[in-house]
Chain A
């Protein structure tokens, strides 16, 4: 039937990944490469991007890399044009670049808000806007958007981050319903607490009675690293999701648990989060 999407064999396919210089994006590139795909990489961090490119090339993978600010339409458009002219086609697009602003909503400046929505939401919109019509024209493909567990549930101190990630989930699920007709699958990944360097690349705007925002950043980073759920496991889930054309993919156990509780009862979930926020204020 025309509205079903066939499963994908990744060998020899072209995969584009944004935010590929580190964390989940880097591991996605590595994982798709291991399955025999060629890679097109984008990131705003040139040094990190070139390191990943070199690492892949040493393994004999065909790589195209370019410095891109996903929040700028012109950057994304030229990335798309270049990838299609260099690699001929794009079978899988991973809109993965993302940032976070942590803290109380009242402490965030307009600039924080613009930055966050620019990268997390517009990055995905730009990716889909430029790549999706060309995927339709070439007759199929798959889009993977990286959201977050905070895209399914509310998480205090990440108000607008949660908001952008909820937006990405809504965008992805809607696009999935529309894209099936063109033989294009759409996946949205909701990882959980993952040990990446996202805190270093984020802005922490609030402290607490005991801690400055800087101390908070150190604590958050320590929590991610102690939890120790590696980004390569998220990447493996993304590859599986493309092969089997899965829709919403929760990865770490906490993503399942929180989503399940939230689905069960929003009021109780919110009460739990308020309690969590109070405890966090007292402890950190």
Chain B
């Protein structure tokens, strides 16, 4: 999609982090925005920011893991804005820890927005995007952990691998309707995902709470800001890129994974051992 002026863009998880930056980036390119998030206060702030850019905005508090909520969002957006050109299924959470410490509730909590948010978003919006004609684009936020099996975030990886697989497949189907689909795979981006994460395991040196602090410090020191992801997304939509790999660490991971999964396996085992001992 070359021209973004006047297009209608829906972004979930838009109250902070990558979602907020995507909304702002599309707004700066002249798009109209429909923003959704579970966090009402954050959503109000983003609505204010968007309106101060002179953008037409529709905002709704939505839990993307509830089918009825997404259904409602979809019909409201179509009523208010008339059509949807770009859908960004972006809302997500994370749990850190080892498989044996993760409860089924932790698994449900991660899969709910990360996988079901994407599925429901596509289930309700995609048929109407086909019906309205004139193409469109769907952007699903995955992660570098959707390409690379990093230890200590097994439920998160599972959800993100699933999102990459889903997006690539839907891409092949949607092309017949002139609709593009992209999965975005950012690396270590400093957002609320780490701050809101559940950490269920400790290591030899750290309690779960300390481990979370260490992760947060690591992300802050990495200092890869979400606006750079948003810029990559806008470019990816313009060029219709299937998997948008953002940041050098993700690029390296993706290439090495494609070269040799066996090599990555050895590296990840080693990383897991080091993490349990020294982090």
Contacts and interface: CB of A to CB of B under 8 A. Distances in A.
A binds B: yes
Interface of A: 2-3, 73, 104-106, 108, 110, 113, 117, 121, 125-126, 128-129, 132-133, 136, 150-151, 153-160, 162-171, 173-181, 247-248, 263-264, 266-267, 270, 273-274, 276-278, 281
Contact of A162 (B166, B176, B268, B270): B166
A129 B169 contact: no
A98 B172 CA distance: 23
Contact of A110 (B98, B123, B126): B123
Contacts of B107: 125, 129
A267 B181 CA distance: 12
Contact of A177 (B111, B169, B268): B268
A111 to B, nearest CB: 11
Q: Which range holds the interface residue count of chain B?
A: 35 or more
Contact of A105 (B158, B173, B175): B173
A108 B273 CA distance: 43
A181 B272 contact: yes
Contacts of B164: 166
B82 interface: no
A270 B176 contact: no
B22 interface: no
23 contacts: A2-B273, A106-B130, A108-B123, A121-B111, A121-B162, A125-B107, A129-B99, A129-B104, A162-B165, A163-B166, A166-B166, A170-B145, A170-B146, A170-B149, A170-B161, A173-B149, A174-B99, A174-B157, A175-B154, A181-B276, A247-B261, A277-B176, A278-B176
Interface secondary structure of A, over-half rule: helix
B121 to A, nearest CB: 12
Contacts of A166: 161-162, 164-166
Contacts, number: 168
B171 A177 contact: no
B158 A151 contact: no
B160 interface: yes
Given A117-B115, A170-B158, A177 B151 contact: yes
B265 A132 contact: no
Given A163-B163, A170-B149, A178-B99, A110 B243 contact: no
